[in-house]
Structures are given as C-alpha cells and as structure tokens.
A and B are shown apart, each in its own frame.
Chain A
Amino acid sequence: MLSLKEVVGGYGEVQIIHGVSLNVRAGSVTALLGANGAGKTTIMLMLAGVLPVTQGEVLFDGKSMGAQRGHQRVNAGMVLVPEGRRVFPNLSVEENLRLGGIVPAARPTWKQRIEEMYELFPRLRERRSQAAGTLSGGEQQMLAIARGLMARPKLLLLDEPTLGLAPIMAQLVFDTIRSLNRSGLSILIAEQDTRNTLNLADEAYVVENGRITLHGSSDNLKNDPRVKEAYLGL
C-alpha cells in the first residue's frame, strides 16, 4: 500500500529524517513508535506533502508520490489527521467536516458521511454550529479525526490521535480504528499510548533520531526488552 525508500527530509535547511524505509501493507495497521523529537511527526508531514522529501522515494498504491502535491495525495486516498488538531478555528464544526470531504472523490457522499461522523462522535453533533476554535481540546481532537475520515481514505495517517482524550474517548478511538481497519482501511499511526497501539497494530517501527532502529510484528516488539523499557515504561 505505502512504502518509503531511504527517505530524507526536514525543515528548510535542517535535516531531520536521515533515510527512513518502511512499508504499510494493505489492510494492516502499522505503528510508528519513538520518543519525543524522534521524527514521527516530520515523517507524517512529509507523507502528507506539507514538507518536501529531499531524497528517496514514497510509493503509494505503486505510484510515486514525489511530484504529487498535498491535495492530489488526499484525492488518491492518503489522508493525515495531524498532530495538534489543526482545525479551522473560525469555521463551524459542520463546515470543518465538509472541508474534510472536499476532494472530488469524496464529495458525492458528503451528507451521508457527516451523519456517520455524528453517529461516531455524538458530541460533535451537539456542537455542529459552534466555531471549532471554541471547542474543548478533546472535542477538537474528535473533530480532527472525523474530518480525516470524511475523505473516505484508503490509507489513514494518524499522528497522536488520542492526545488529550479522556480514557473513555481514547478507547472509543482505538475501537473505531480497529473497526475501520476491519472494513479494509489501512492505517499508519504514531501514538504515545504504546501499549494500546501495539495491541492494535500488526506491525511496528521504532524511530530514533530520524532513523528506523527496530522493526517487527507488534507481538514481537511487545516483548522486546528495549521497547519494554523505553516505550512501555516497564
């Protein structure tokens, strides 16, 4: 589904990612683990076309994404739920959702999709005409996830989706990811709740200082002593 080959990139002249290769198999959940500042968000932003890939190759569905700009990637089915939510603060919740489904591929089913999102997060329905900037932190996070799902992605890139969610909501998000995955969606997730993430994922990569240092099935990684110590806090 998605494969990165020796990808290099960063912010302007600062290089952060020094050659990362990874694969997300179709229909799988793949996790990115790593400490703060390891480069997970940077990889996500490069995938979404926000940051440039200076070397290496990104293949999605077999096609090179090098020349594809952000909106083309969304249209092709690769959607990012960014870290820090990035909702449109002065637009209403509903307008935020509609924007999530603005690419041509998703536009015909707008209305129905919004209803589905409201089913998933009833709180959003209650706040549908409130400006997104005035939502509570957790509500904004729900909105960001829902907005990402609006585009009917084939591959969903989740950057810390449960950040700031109460346990009950975080659980809901994990459950949702699992059921979305069952219905065929591929997922790449970066998340600090390592335990839950590994329970959910099929495969995982550990990122350190802009490089992949460990890779394996999540069951293997769960029992890897390095992971245990560094990311599970055992």
Chain B
Amino acid sequence: MSLIQLEGVSKNFGGLRALAEISMTVDEGKILGIMGANGAGKTTLFNVIAGYLPPTTGNVLLEGKSLLGLRPDQVCRRGIARTFQIVKPFQNLTVMENLLTAAMFGSVLIRNRQQAVAHCQTVLKDLGMLGLADTPAHALTLSKQKKLELARAISTGCKVVMLDEVMAGLTPPEVSEMLGIIREQHHSRKLTILIIEHVMRALMQLSDRIVVLHHGERIAMGTPQEIADNPRVHEVYFGEQK
C-alpha cells in the first residue's frame, strides 16, 4: 500500500491557484523528488501535507487515513516531519535543545530527558554535527541552519520526512557529503522522503521518482531518466542550457 496519497489537492490564495488538482502516491521507503520553477507550488504542497495550510479541495492520506483537519503538531505525531525552506531555528536555544524539542514532542515522544539527549546525540553524530551541540542556533551560518532543520526533522522519529531545499547554498563537495548523509539516513532509519531541490544533480541521484510542478499543475512524473528526457520539463525548468 502506498504510504502517502494525495487526492485532487488544490490550494488557492485569493485568485491565485498555487496547487491545481494534484494527485499522486508515495510508496513506503521511497524517495520522491519534487521539482518545478520558482513559485510552482512545491513549498505549498508541503504546507498542505504538514497541516500548515488547509487545502481548498482534495484530500491527503497517510496509510489510508485522512490527515485533513489535523493541526501541524498532530501531523507530526503521525510521523510526518518537515524542514522549512526559509529556516526557522529556535534562535536562542542550543543545537541540542533544538533537537530535544523534536525528540520530546515528535512521534518518538521520549519524555525522559536523558534518553532524549542520547537519541539526539546519535542524530547529531550521523550528521556530523556533534561538535555544534552547545552552539546557540543564531550563531550558525545559513547552511548550518539548514542542516539543523534536517537534524531536527529526523529527531522527531518520523516515518516520512519532507526536505525543502536543504542543499541550497552548499558547495559541490558539501552537496556530495549531504547526499551521503541523506542516503545513509534513508537506509538506516527506513525513511520515506519527499525532497524539493533546485540542485539537479542531487535530485537525479537520490530520487526513485520525480514529480514536476508548473504553475501548480503536475506536468510530469516519472523516473529521473524519464524526467531528464522530457522536453516540456526542459522548456519550463532548465531553459535552453542543458
């Protein structure tokens, strides 16, 4: 059975249609890449799934059960975590404290502080951030803050994680490192991943399947190879340059 199912999801902002009748499914343990031009509706899609915005029409299901009407914290408890494209760290808390929130309130729900700290330490270690545990979040560079977003999302103990441009602003070697991390987490934690990226190399290498949005509509869906060969995608996304 597919883990996540979208049925005709639309979202309007006033007169603007940011999502138009999006239907799709994501199978358990798969990585779905999402691409599309700026303003195509990618982040909006995450917002709808996460319970952040109510869809104008349509339904979102997790394991066959509707998520409609759930608040973001309830969605998170069901096992869907996310990162924010425009980062929202807890500025005055340390990196560890940032993660503790996730561990104490996310779907793992570890209420014992010692255990929660241990849980977060493994996450930090996996992401190579152990050294930053006691740094306050506001002292991190933007790209470190993005990594913090990722660590925080994983720390909730989620089944599904939605990553919104976590690789933006990384140098190519850093992208490679991040790819390794995500793959590793994907395997070790059996995560289902939805990932938005403009870094094509990353998306092509990671995704099992890719869906392409354009002006809120789904214009293509398929394996990375199929998407790479799709002329429509070329036209709206890459421009003349290949």
Contacts and interface: CB of A to CB of B under 8 A. Distances in A.
Q: Do A and B come from one complex?
A: yes
A11 B171 CA distance: 24
Q: How large is the interface on A (under 10, 10 to 19, 20 to 34, 35 or more residues)?
A: 35 or more
Interface stretch (A23-31, A132-140, A179-187): A132-140
A35 B141 CA distance: 11
Interface string A161-201: 00111111111100000000000000000001010000000
Interface string B203-242: 0000000000000000000000000000000001111010
A95 interface: no
Given A167-B198, A168-B237, A139 B173 contact: no
B118 interface: no
B93 interface: no
A233 B172 contact: yes
Given A37-B141, A139-B39, A166 B198 contact: yes
Interface string B153-170: 000000000000100111
Contact of A41 (B36, B37, B141, B198): B141
Contacts of A139: 38-39
A84 interface: yes
Contacts of B44: 136
Contacts, number: 99
A160 B169 contact: yes
Interface in A115-130: 123
A205 B133 CA distance: 31
Contacts of B170: 36, 192
Nearest to B173: A233
B182 interface: no
Contact of B143 (A36, A165, A167, A172): A36
Given A137-B85, A231-B172, A233-B172, A169 B38 contact: yes
Contacts of A85: 86
Nearest to A172: B239
B85 A233 contact: no
B132 to A, nearest CB: 10
Contacts of A171: 239, 241
- Which one of B35, B40, B139, B171 has the greatest number of beta carbons of chain A within 10 Å? B171
Given A35-B171, A36-B171, A233-B172, A136 B142 contact: no
- Which one of A83, A139, A170, A192 has the greatest number of beta carbons of chain B within 10 Å? A192
B17 interface: no
Contact of B174 (A36, A141, A168): A36
Contacts of B171: 35-36, 192, 194, 230-231, 233
- Which one of B38, B86, B198 has the greatest number of beta carbons of chain A within 10 Å? B38
Interface in A127-162: 134-142, 160
A129 to B, nearest CB: 11
Contact of A231 (B38, B173, B200): B173
A36 B36 contact: no
21 contacts: A14-B139, A35-B171, A36-B171, A41-B142, A123-B38, A136-B40, A136-B43, A137-B38, A140-B86, A142-B38, A165-B38, A166-B37, A166-B237, A169-B37, A169-B38, A172-B239, A192-B169, A192-B170, A230-B171, A231-B172, A233-B171
